[in-house]
Chain A
Amino acid sequence: MGLDIRTPIGLMFGIFGLLLAGYGLMTSGSAIYQRSLGLNVNLAWGAVLVVFGGIMLWFGWRKK
């Protein structure tokens, strides 16, 4: 099949990760994190998503 699904998965989660992490940085210390027990989950989980997206992209591009 002409499209390796790992590429769009990697791209999408990479973008989500950057967005969340960036938003997390901007809102650091904000009251919105009272909900998440005082943790800046946007920054932390955004970073996880960036790593996940990167791994997917690496697998998707490695073959070509």
Chain B
Amino acid sequence: MQHGIQLGGIDYLILVIYFLFVIGIGWVLRRYTKTSEDFFLSGRAIPAWIAGLAFLSANLGAQEMIGMAASGAKYGIATAHFYWVGAIPAMVFVGIFMMPFYYGSKARSVPEYLKLRFDEKTRGFNAISFATMTVFSSGISMYALAKLLELLLGWDFNVSLWISAAIVLAYIYLGGLTSAIYNEVLQFFLIVLGFAPLVYLGLRDVGGWNGLVAKLNTVATTNGYAPGTWSQSWRHLTSPQANPMGVEWFGMVMGLGFVLSFGYWCTDFLVVQRAMAANSMAAARRTPLIAAVPKMLFPFLIIVPGMIAIGLTYAGTSFTLPKMADGSWDYTMVIPNMLQHYFPPGLLGLGLTALMASFMSGMAGNVTAFNTVWTYDIYQSYIRKDATDAHLLWVGRMTTIFGILASVGTAYLATRFNNIMDFLQLVFAFVNAPLFATFLLGMFWRRSTGHGAFFGLLSGTVAAAVHHGLTLPQNAVAGIKGGWIVAWFSARPVHVYPSEMAQNFWTAIWAWSTCFAVTVVISLLTSRKKSDQELTGLVYSLTPRRTDDDHLPWWQRPAGFGVAVLVLAVVLNVVFW
């Protein structure tokens, strides 16, 4: 195998300095990490802007960087919907409407909120599935990093895996969540400053925005689509046949924009934990709103390089994407190959360090969420209820070690059984899809009960699996891609979707709707165990309206800030319509 990139001394120097800073931050913070709350919640002392950037960065794993650039090449600017439709509205919603209950309830984790609002079994279901999922995600992240380094630089897979694991372990073990959050902020700037020159050089090479659009028109017409399919975000969503995603606007807005996006940004403890660590209610509510501003601009940093790559590839004059064994373009190589193509030694070191930073921030986010849920929601709840705080802090550190070892194990598992990974990710998708219905009803409908929530979640998960088992994307074989239920009966799929993405969106819509309906019906049939008093601060109608920010100017209030963010997002959609 040939290794694409030769690194010089200056590149290694930058990488090593980055590692030293990352561990150094953990080392300094070690002195301030004295209680379990310091370790798991940063002592609830993080200013809003830091929490906001960490909120964004924790989600910005490398799968995101590599995957979104790949989608930019594959689908064009419509990929930005994963940000403008699939993130911004949900981030504004969680900040304005949900954070008062997460932060105000003093819950230490998302599963703990479920325990306070509903009951033990709902919490247990969520805690166990979430903890398992985070370990696997972080393992998959490590696997991807080590594989990429092997391919690009010829580094040994084992060495890369263990070194990256050791670095993440060191800084979380020492400084806990604060260390992870501080490093996420560092990583955020590194990612922005490391990739910005790539966008500049790429755009310059392709002839500016107009040059890019012209080249993308060629890409679109060559593939049998209308010109502009790659450079206009909404105009080609009228039918699934009109765009390479195979999705129409309704599936996009409901499946991605509503169910999947709200399910992730509003209920995933990985991101919510960053806001829970904020130093005040106002800061916690501003956290996702602050994150939303760079988030909506990220398409220009991440997706545009993909569009440039495919445009130049079709033009055939300078940059060309590599091909895979079956002759199709290897879209996942957009970022690595563009770094190699445009960056001289020096800047190349910075770009690769940024790529590595994105892997680590994703990994660290998973590990901190895992050790908190494990320690508070599983260990303290089921194993040792009377544990002292010093003991919990110790358990947190041990869990960090355990979590990272389990992730390394997962990474090795992934090298042998790629199918298992696909299978697990599928199962987690089923478990996650209905979650937002449970939180929505829990926070805004006081009548909803613990039994309703638990069985709603369960049936939502089952509905996702059944929908997946009955339908199939076009040209796919029954199995991991769906259709496995009908395959047992040697029947034909109930419905064939134009693409896998469309199938995913609709699986989520079905899961959400089932969970919503079942929770409502069972709640009406069962009686609520918690009194109105117990639910104060957890449910909208039982919580007094907040008045503490009434004296602030509108743009400092969450609602005003949130509306401004939404207006900005609408403007972006209109400009790139």
Interface positions of A (Cβ within 8 A of B): 1-3, 5, 8-9, 11-13, 15-16, 19-20, 23-24, 27, 32-33, 35-37, 39, 41-42, 45-46, 48-49, 52
Contacts and interface: CB of A to CB of B under 8 A. Distances in A.
Interface residues of B, number: 35
Nearest to B29: A3
Nearest to B43: A1
A27 to B, nearest CB: 8
B220 interface: no
Q: Which 4 A-B pairs have the closest CB atoms?
A: A32-B344, A42-B346, A23-B346, A12-B21
Nearest to B28: A3
Contact of A35 (B28, B32, B46, B341): B341
Interface string B185-226: 110010001000100010011000000000000000000000
13 contacts: A3-B29, A8-B25, A11-B21, A12-B17, A12-B18, A16-B14, A20-B346, A27-B344, A35-B344, A36-B201, A36-B342, A41-B343, A45-B347
Interface in B330-370: 341-347, 350
A16 B17 contact: yes
Between A1, A11, A33, A41, the greatest number of chain B beta carbons within 10 A of the residue's beta carbon is seen for A1
> Chain B's interface: helix, strand, loop or mixed, by majority?
helix
A48 B25 CA distance: 24
B21 A8 contact: yes
A40 B347 CA distance: 10
Contacts, number: 88
Contacts of A2: 28-29, 31-32
B424 interface: no
Nearest to A46: B346
Contact of A24 (B50, B197, B205, B346): B346
Nearest to A20: B346
Nearest to A15: B17
Contacts of B163: none
A52 B345 CA distance: 21
A16 B32 contact: no
B204 A41 contact: no
B137 interface: no
Nearest to B20: A12
B10 A19 contact: yes
B154 interface: no
Nearest to B205: A37
Contact of A9 (B189, B201, B344, B346): B189
